[in-house]
Amino acid sequence: MNTGHFPPPKRLGLIIHGSVILVLAAIAVIGFINLTRADVGPVFLISLLTALASFIPIPFFVYRAYSLFNADYHLDRDSLAIKWGLRIEDIPLSDIEFIRSSNDLTTPLPLPALRLPGGLLGMRRHPDLGAVEFLAADSGKLLLVATAKRVFVISPENPAGLTQTFARATELGSLTPAESISVYPSFVITQAWQSGLARYLWLTTLFLNLGLFIWASLIIPSTPLVALGPQFAGSALEIVPSSQLIIFPVASLLLSTAGWIAGLYFYRWDKQRVLAFIVWGSSMLMSLLFLLAVLFIITTPV
């Protein structure tokens, strides 16, 4: 029997998500550059808020792009495995009541609130089906996978091929009884939080970044000018507005966020968890170095 992989359409979704990430990154970079040139005042505040508002969604869209790139629906005689980023659902064929097109519904299927091509994700309720979870990319190729607990909505590139393969697999019967598996992204965070070392590294990095933000916010209004430059004998120091100090907590926060996400990526596998702790430890050390850099700057005479 022809079983195998029925991935969702990815090209359009990856292009759109990549474009959104590039636009947000460009806006964030422009905002950070303006921070280095603006004095304390409305322009400085607008640049800061613009930069932060543009950066905050970037990890969200990066994860969605990563999830789409690795998304797959794998069907064999034992189960249907749905993989979407850190979300994994492995459904035994014996638990599947039916697989059919969403066009067969008498009441239209409500789509997720935040939907982009390549990213139809989230929970909705349908008057006939009850709880429905979307793990799909294309609203024109939606299939309903009904189980006793929940209905999943998927979008294989070849819906007819998956439906026909499921029918043949059901007729032939299962070779080996499979177990139902459900893995959510939050499970990785919860599992890592149970580690005392992970909690220590996360909380220390968080408090270092909060302290750096508060400290820079107190320094900027009270110190109009600071000296930047290499701390060597005979080297020239550049005198700049103290508002440029905001770059240090912002950069520390951005890099710490990237490190936290990268650590979660490695923590999923037992053999690579040491890499997760190395990344989280490096993020903590980096935040400490940013704090020391600000200390050296404000103690350097202007």
Among 207, 188, 196, smallest CA distance to 268 is for: 188
Q: What's the 3-state SS for 56-119? A: CCHHHHHHHHHHHHHCEEEECCCEEEEEECCEEEEEEHHHEEEEEEHHHCCCCCCCCCCEECCE
pLDDT at position 39, please?
65
pLDDT in tens, the chain (302 residues): 456 889 999 999 999 999 999 999 999 888 877 776 766 667 777 877 888 888 888 888 988 999 999 999 999 888 899 999 888 899 998 888 889 998 888 888 888 888 888 889 988 998 888 889 999 999 889 999 998 888 999 999 999 889 988 888 888 776 677 778 887 777 788 888 888 999 999 999 999 999 998 888 788 777 777 766 655 545 566 676 777 787 888 889 888 988 998 898 888 777 888 999 999 999 999 999 999 988 888 877 66
pLDDT at position 1, please?
47
Among 185, 157, 175, smallest CA distance to 66 is for: 185
Domain ranges, ordered by start, for the chain: 184-302
pLDDT digits 0-9 by tens, 158-169? 998 899 888 888
pLDDT at position 103, please?
87
> For residue 130, what are the β-bridge partners?
126
Q: At what angle do helices 11-37 and 42-55 cross, to 10 degrees?
A: 160
pTM of the predicted model over 0.85: no
pLDDT at position 205, please?
95
